[in-house]
Amino acid sequence: MELCSFLTLDSFITDPLTHEFMRKALLMSSLVAAVCGFLSSYLTLKGWALMGDAVSHSVMPGVVVAYALGLPFSLGAFIFGVGSVALIGFIKQKSRVKEDTVIGLVFTGFFALGIVLVSKIKSNIDLHSILFGSPLGISLSDVKQTIFICLLVVILLSIFRKDLMLYCFDPRHAKTVGINVFFLHYLLLTCLSLAAVVGLQSVGIILVVAMLITPGATAYLLTDKFDNMTVISVLSAIISSLIGIYVSFWFDLETGGSIVLAQTFIFLFAFLFAPRYGLFKLKKLFAGYK
């Protein structure tokens, strides 16, 4: 990791590839980023950012319990992720407390439960890797599970791509023409829980919500077409995770944080310079010169 060794861009890129853990990290993080980016378009348009935050934090006790019982951690995470949303819905309906308050208190409650469980269940669970991610130390069984979940989410989102878009845009119309809105709601939630699970390996539970909203928000500033938005979102997510891992390798930084920071920088760039919706409205500026 000597700084003087990347005098050329070539070695900056190729040197890390000589390490197996780096190849694996780059590949897996890109895959996870792509899946989260895909989902991100839907979540930002649906206005589910807070929901994403809630679900991603709530999976914590599920992961811990699953580890303790020797079950696939995705199963535990899924149950607690969807369970938290069900609980939020229930409390909201049965009390006068406002929704954002309910969301906040439910997910912090779940998260706290997870932390307490980790301290009680003396096992080989590494709290640090759950909280902050460990893309460089991902195990073979985790790789298999991650690939499986990613494929599942991509297939589901691809099949119901248009229905989900309609659901986000105008659920009332969807219902009126006989489309199962209930199913779509839970499909999106399921994908959210699954994406949170795979995302937490890359950047950890605390930051996974960034993977689920930042790429979508970036893409939203750059296009007026839904399909383009999805493509831009996926690409920006992949590029950020590559940049994040490389930078963390060369400068010895926390990997998860680097990935999210890269996403944030790309968002800021779009925020300032997006042709139509950027702060500087470059399109208008250039049109003025003509």
Partner 1 sequence: METINYQNFRIEAENICVDYNGKVALYDANLRLKPSQICGLVGMNGAGKTTFFNALTGFVNISKGKIRINGESVRSAQKDQTIAYVPQNEGIDSQFPISVWDVVMMGRYGSMNIFRCPRESDVQAVKDAIERVDLTDHLSTPIGNLSGGQRKRTFLARAIAQRASILLLDEPFSGVDIRTEKLISELFIQFKNEGKTILLSTHDMIHVREFCDLVLLINKTVVAYGETSEVFTPENITTTFGGISPDFLFGPES
State the residues that interact with partner 1 by CB under 8 A.
Answer: 45, 93, 159, 162-163, 165-166, 168-179, 220, 223-226, 228-229
Q: What is the largest CA-CA distance in the chain?
A: 69
Cβ of residue 46: shortest distance to partner 1, in angstroms? 10
d(CA 79, CA 192): 12
Angle at 221 between CA 219 and CA 227, to 5 degrees: 40
- Residue 46 · residue 165 · CB < 8 Å: no
Count the residues in the chain: 290
**Cβ neighbour number for residue 70 with a 10 Å cutoff:** 7
Shortest Cβ 106–partner 1 spacing (Å) = 18
Please say which residue, 143 or 179, places its beta carbon nearer to partner 1.
Answer: 179
Provide the minimum distance between the beta carbon of 159 and partner 1 in the complex, in angstroms, as a whole number. 7
- Identity of the residue, 171 or 275, whose beta carbon is nearer to partner 1 in the bound complex: 171
For partner 1, the closer of residues 11 and 95 by Cβ is 95
Write down the least CB distance from residue 287 to partner 1, Å: 15
Q: Residue 97: left if φ>0, alpha if ψ -120 to 50, beta else—which one?
A: beta
Q: 165 or 262: whose CB is closer to partner 1?
A: 165
